[in-house]
Amino acid sequence: MEGAMLRISSDQHFKLNSLAEEAHVSIEEIASRAIDAFQLKTMEEEQELEILAEAVIESNKKAIKSLKEAHEALQDTLAHFARN
């Protein structure tokens, strides 16, 4: 473990002490838990963004395929009417 000095407002200090008392742990433990929770949330958000990005990429591929098929159908229709 390493020590660190944190500058926090008196309101934050009061909240930190209150949380520590309620949980029956030190204020250092509350700070450590907060950091761990923040890191976990950040990792979960990154994973969610990756999944979302993959879904967007897949959706775009399908949209491009559909547009190409629609364009080909339109070209066939125009060619048909051009012959008549």
Residue range of the domain that includes 53: 23-83
Dihedral in degrees, nearest 10, Cα atoms 39, 40, 46, 47: 160
Give the separation between CA 13 and CA 61, rounded to whole angstroms.
52
Tell me, what's the pLDDT at 71?
Answer: 97
Tens of pLDDT, residue by residue over 39-57, are: 878 888 889 999 999 999 9
Tell me, what's the pLDDT at 38?
Answer: 85
Tell me, what's the pLDDT at 21?
Answer: 95
Return the residue matching tokens 């890191």.
39
Q: Is residue 77 part of a domain?
A: yes
Q: Is residue 67 part of a domain?
A: yes
Q: What angle do CA 47, 35, 8 make, to 5 degrees?
A: 135
Q: Is residue 38 part of a domain?
A: yes
Segments of the chain with pLDDT less than 50:
none
Number of folded domains in the chain? Answer: 1
Q: Is residue 55 part of a domain?
A: yes
Tell me, what's the pLDDT at 69?
Answer: 97
